[in-house]
Amino acid sequence: MSRHSHGPRSSTSPHSRSESHLMNYSEEITDAELIKQVNDIKQQIRILSLENEIFERVIMRLEPTLMHGIQQALDYATKLQSSSPLSIGSFVKSQTSRYGFDSVITSPSRMFTSPSRVSTRRVDSSAKVSGTVIFGTGPRINVLERSELVSAEMEILIANLEKARKKAAKQHAFLKAQLEEIGVRETDIEKASEMFKQEVIVEGWDKIAQRIPAEIWIRFMTEWVKISDSHIGKFRLRTSTLNSQYSKLKGQIKVKAELSESLRAVDFDKLKIENSECLKTIDYKLQQLGELKKMTGDANLNLTVHKKAMMQQNGYLSNILQSIKEKQKQTAELDKEKDVIKVQAESLSQRLDDVRKVRLAYEVPDIMDYVNVKSEVADLKHSVKLLENRVHIQEIALASLNKKLKSIISNEM
């Protein structure tokens, strides 16, 4: 395949090429040059192998019948490597004419032309006569056509890889679900086994009869069946819910697929216009929202200022009410003291009257009695004076308190 695909690069005859090879080998070359030539030949072989693979894929995809007999021709050519190039060329030419490769040579646009342009090249009859398939001057495939072939094969490979990836993802998800199901089953089996060992084997063992009673076994199985039935009911309900959701989603996907098939370019233009109008409406609403935020901020600021002033007024009012309560308490106490002092003053005045009566009725008493009476009278006068002074002071304080109270009440009014 490599000789077939890249043979048209050289237009020289097989004899001239063999003579040039002999002249090159006859010359003396260094080891470094020999290694370089070997590496270059390996690189060319690698590139030719890749190109041959691409061409083989293209031929198998477009016209598989053309590949019949190619492998036999390549095997025979490998056996004839030690033979002359002329015999190999004539053999391959006979094989290609035998299996229908002349049609490929005469019409290269059938396979090797790009899909975007149709090649109208034709090969001359002289090229078919003078050149062979391997070393002849057959149809040439330029770099653009090669790149288009490689691009097409790469797209096909990418599509196949994407399909394989999706299939592997589905398989992976299916296997993961199976593993999760197996894990759940294993957990349930372990729990059931532990429950059976604990309730039947350990707790149900009758030490006297040295056996497990059948009633315990039957009761355990009955309870286990009830628990299993409840779990089955829950799983059935969940499965039915999931099935309904799946059918719903499947219907939505079908409707979307039908809508996507019925959509036209006008629908997208209409949707674009509606989206632009919606964006304009959103911008307008955002502007209104910004203005409302500003108004809300101003209102919150005013509210904070008034709230602070109200708190100050409430504090001042609470202080005034507290002072009024204290003054009222003091007024009540002063009223009580006034009543007490009034009672004392009345008693003292009564006593004074009695003393005066006694004095008027007294006639020339003894000197000592007179001195004693005088001292007592002086003491009584002193006490009366003190009481009067105290009463006067209390009256003055009461008048001042009443005045202050009237001023506070007038200010509040």
CB count within 10 Å of CB 162 equals: 10
Return the top range by mean pLDDT from 82-86, 91-95, 153-157, 213-217.
153-157
pLDDT over threshold 90, residue 311 = yes
Residue 211 dihedral angles phi and psi, to the nearest 5°: -160, 170
What is the number of residues in the chain? 413
Averaged pLDDT score across all residues of the chain = 77
Residue 10, pLDDT score: 37
**Rounded to whole angstroms, how far apart are CA atoms 298 and 38?**
86
In this structure, is residue 59 part of a structural domain? yes
Confidence bin at 240 (pLDDT 50/70/90):
very high
Domain that holds residue 232: 166-240
CA angle 166, 171, 176 (to 5 degrees): 125
Residue 374, pLDDT score: 86
Confidence bin at 138 (pLDDT 50/70/90):
very low
Cα radius of gyration (the chain): 62
Residue 312, pLDDT score: 93
In this structure, is residue 251 part of a structural domain? no
Amino acid at 232: I
In this structure, is residue 329 part of a structural domain? yes
Specify whether 10 is located in the same domain as 119: yes
Specify whether 289 is located in the same domain as 374: yes
pLDDT in tens, 160-197: 999 999 999 999 999 999 999 899 889 988 988 888 88
pLDDT over threshold 70, residue 261 = yes
Confidence bin at 411 (pLDDT 50/70/90):
confident
pLDDT over threshold 70, residue 241 = yes
Residue 12, pLDDT score: 40
pLDDT over threshold 70, residue 100 = no
Specify whether 32 is located in the same domain as 88: yes
In this structure, is residue 147 part of a structural domain? no
Specify whether 44 is located in the same domain as 78: yes
**Rounded to whole angstroms, how far apart are CA atoms 280 and 90?**
78
Nearest residue to 89 (alpha-carbon basis) of 101, 98, 80: 80
Residue 79, pLDDT score: 77
**Rounded to whole angstroms, how far apart are CA atoms 323 and 52?**
111
Nearest residue to 105 (alpha-carbon basis) of 77, 133, 82, 86: 133
Instruction: Determine the 3-state secondary structure of 189 from DSSP.
Output: helix
For 57-76, what is the mean pLDDT? 76
Nearest residue to 386 (alpha-carbon basis) of 341, 339, 354: 341
Total domains, the chain: 3
Specify whether 225 is located in the same domain as 280: no
pLDDT in tens, 271-281: 889 999 999 99
For 152-165, what is the mean pLDDT? 90
Task: Give Cα 334 to chain centroid, integer Å.
Answer: 78
Specify whether 87 is located in the same domain as 172: no
pLDDT over threshold 90, residue 247 = yes
pLDDT over threshold 80, residue 130 = no
pLDDT over threshold 80, residue 294 = yes
For 75-96, what is the mean pLDDT? 55
pLDDT over threshold 60, residue 3 = no
Residue 284, pLDDT score: 93
Residue 168, pLDDT score: 94
In this structure, is residue 68 part of a structural domain? yes
Specify whether 320 is located in the same domain as 213: no
